[in-house]
Amino acid sequence: MKFSLTWLKDHLETEASLSEITDALNAIGLEVEGVEDPAERLAGFTVAKVLTADKHPDADKLQVLSVDTGDGEPLQVVCGAPNARAGMKGVLGQPGAVVPANGMELRKSAIRGVESNGMMCSVRELELGDEHDGIIELPEDAPVGASFADYHGASPVIDVAITPNRPDCMGVHGIARDLAAAGVGTLKPIAFPAFTAQGKCPVEIRTDDAEGCPAFYGRVIKGVKNGPSPDWLQQRLTSAGQRPISLLVDLTNYMMLAFGRPAHAYDLAKLTGAIVARRAKPGEQVLALNEKTYTLDDSMTVIADDNGVHDIAGIMGGEHSGVTEGTTDVLLEIAYFNPARIGVTGRRLGLASDARTRFERGVDPAFLEDGLDLLTGLIVELAGGEASEIVRAGSPPSEPKSIAFDPSLTTRLGGVEIAEDEQKRILESLVFQVSGDWQVTCPLRRHDIEGPADLVEEVVRIHGLDTVESVALPRTDGVARPTATPEQMVERKLRRAAAGSGLDEAITWSFLPVDAAEHFADGSELWVLDNPISEDMKAMRPSLVPGLLIAAKRNADLGAATTRLFEIGRRYFRGNDGTSDERATLGVVLAGEKTQRNWQSGKATHFDAFDAKQVALALLEAAGAPADKLMVMGFDGSGLGDQFHPGQSATLRLGPKKVLARFGMVHPATLKAFDTDGPVAALELFLDAFPAKKAGKGPVSFARPEFAPPALQAVTRDFAFLVPEDLAADDLLKAVRGADRTHVTGARVFDLFTGEGVPEGQKSIAIEVTLQPREKSFKDKDLKAIAEAVVAAAAKRGAQLRG
């Protein structure tokens, strides 16, 4: 919530500086998110008087002004505003000043051959409103040469984060009350403008939905004159980020921002019959003030007349009955709505507003009549008119909560000693009533107070959260036991291994656009949010790859030639029992150039499926998975892997059904769906499928014999086999490794050949086999025996030793 320092001082009598106020806000739990000083943006702009205004010699719509800045010789300024004329006072931006609206730095320049020393400014250019028809016209008594920031009364704007449990601080008066309780100043009483109610209200007002709208108050004011708001009101709304619209609308917004009390003004001429708070009829529609039409159901409370719905109660008014510049008679409405019902309605309609934010958290039910009188007095004072008597339909909650409180609880729970008299003073300054036996009665606006612990919080935060001593948690003596779970340890190993291999870690959203999520759902049911942050973040991700593809495209759009991204996170599915099914996953995307073009190889090279496979195997090995026992298999047609190229992708499995990873080139159709240029390689490791690690037998000692380096040197032997064209190289390697598990410690493919000399339907695969002697060196007969075993094992796979 934003408000200016000037607005705060309307409610708080204080001599405290801005920094003292912001420090106090942080100390009492109202976190200051930022402070903006408009005076800094208006530096270089001064009050000036136009002495002469002559036609530009080379432009019909421009004038050459002579401007007095109160500082010596007049300045010559070229201006195109139609209202610029001799004798008027306005705002001059001199060379060096920066225009707030567009960030343009003003300089001395020539416009159509005539020198111009700055610019006469409009309201919009200084971000003081939306008017742009001409330059600002200041009153005759505006002091020439004065800083416009000082003259305008630009005040620092404080931005405070209000937590959902503190709706009483969603108005400037509530924040001032907390500051006064903390000793920063004195809370000013609310000033009610005087007016006299004249006659009964000519409109019937009632509530037919006592659950959704327990209290509905209203009155009519006739003979008002709507128009622009006075400067003080516009300045306060602008500081809060609100755009001034008209006096009547601005005053209702002022009530909401100053006192946390939403209200609404209807154009009486647009209403017919009684005004009723009731349940909506199924299928009823309303055109809201945001110019969108909403279809309602019978769980929603609305404000309606004989012709239909005019207001989605507590959330947003209707377009058809809103006040305009021509409005002369208004119906004011202030009500108390059921917070839970407001929240449900807002979520179902996907409709957010400042009023909803306050009503669903709970407004002050004791401020209905006073709020209506205050708004009425302001309207009568500023817009004229005669007000009727109040109509009170229903009644708001009026039974305050009473809590038995023990002051010693503050020390036990809050960790700070505060004298009982001070505790009582703090509670009473927040308008709690404290009896002699410490029975505390809560004000109706404090919906968040449920028990003694909440009262401790009130006392401690007003005393100052910065006074609470930081105390370390106790720990037992000795070496701390590990707290990470086996799953967390695996993720740590993977994260280090991935980063060590040159991949960059990414953290993407857990939410995706629905079409992107469906593309990777593989037939599973998605979790789709009813109230997403945006339509692009509506479905929970069923895979990490789409988020990484989006990130890779963003990198490419920004000029990155190569993208190597990985992420460890969760995939989300809807379980069979309706609960969330979360699965730990590692995703990798390799996009762009693998190597740049150079004088040796010429063209740049791109990533391929073998790069993805290499990364997958390296990461699986780092995680402790049995990489040497994995089977390389294609996709089984179940829908898993439709996002990958069918001829350039596969899975890594521990057994025929347990898929640990999938890798390969992303399918062209998937790249098109994500508006991404290929080729792109990707892989996913399904950490939830990793086999559970057996319980260890204590720390590993590398002095144990099985971990000692071999005493004898290994030897290598090369074999070239003719194999069927459809035989996977990995199948042949597994057969070779299994020929002699004692001495064969490694096998790798170093050549693949088809063509002249190789029979049709076959291919030649050359393998380097590593042989490790154990107790004594190999003799020729030992090597011959192992070689024969290798050839025999390969023959079982249909391989024939090539001559």
Q: How far is CA 10 from each of CA 5, 53, 177, 233, rounded to the nearest angstrom?
A: 9, 41, 12, 12
Under-50 pLDDT residues of the chain: 697-704
Give the pLDDT confidence score for residue 128 in this predicted structure.
Answer: 81
* C-alpha to C-alpha distance for 371 and 360, rounded to whole angstroms: 18
- Given this structure, which CATH class describes domain 205-394? alpha beta
DSSP character at residue 485: -
Residues 6+ apart with CB under 8 A from 387: 195, 196, 197, 198, 219, 220, 221, 376, 379, 380
- The dihedral built from the CA positions of residue 386, 392, 396 and 399, taken in this order, carries a sign that is positive
On the 0-12 / 13-18 / 19+ scale of CB atoms within 10 A, 7 is buried
| Straight-line distance from the first to the last Cα atom of the chain, in angstroms, rounded to the nearest whole number | 83
Structure tokens at 541: 């991700």
764 phi and psi, to 5 degrees? -105, 125
**pLDDT per residue over 620-656, tens digit each?**
999 888 877 788 888 865 556 789 998 899 999 988 8
- CA angle 583/585/591 to nearest 5° reads 145
Report the CATH superfamily, name and number, of domain 486-689. Answer: Bira Bifunctional Protein; Domain 2 (3.30.930.10)
The domain 710-801 having CATH identifier 1.20.950.20: the answer here is: no
The pLDDT value recorded for residue 494 is 94
Q: Specify the pLDDT at position 27.
A: 93
- The answer to whether domain 2-37+156-187 has CATH 3.20.20.70 is no
Pick the CATH number of 40-152 from 3.40.190.10, 2.40.50.140, 3.40.50.970, 3.50.50.60: 2.40.50.140
CA 311 vs CA 140, 250, 266, 352, 770: distances in Å: 44, 18, 10, 14, 81
Tens digits of residue pLDDT in 5-45: 999 999 999 999 999 999 999 999 999 999 988 888 888 89
Q: What is the DSSP code string of 28-54?
A: TT-EEEEEE-HHHHTTTEEEEEEEEEE
Of 631, 682, 624, give the one whose Cα is nearest residue 653: 631
Rounded distance between C-alpha atoms, residue 267 and residue 62, angstroms: 43
Do the two domains 205-394 and 402-462 of this chain adopt the same fold? Answer: no
Reported as type and span, the H/E element at residue 115 is: strand 114-116
Please give the radius of gyration of the chain, using alpha carbons only, rounded to the nearest integer.
38
Cα–chain-centroid distance for residue 554?
A: 19
Burial, 351: exposed, middle or buried (Cβ in 10 Å; 0-12, 13-18, 19+)? middle
Where in 139-228 does DSSP place strands (E)?
157-161, 186-187, 205-207, 215-222
Beta bridge partners of 2: 159
- Compute the distance between CA of residue 178 and CA of residue 180 in angstroms, rounded to an integer: 5
The yes/no answer on whether domain 402-462 falls in CATH 1.10.3720.10 is no
Q: Which helix (H) or strand (E) holds 64?
A: strand 63-68
Tell me the domain boundaries of the chain: 2-37+156-187, 40-152, 205-394, 402-462, 486-689, 710-801
Fill in the DSSP letter of residue 292.
-
CA dist., res. 253 & res. 241, Å (int): 11
The position carrying tokens 């980020």 is 241
What HEC string does 490-508 produce?
Answer: HHHHHHHHHHHCCCEECCC
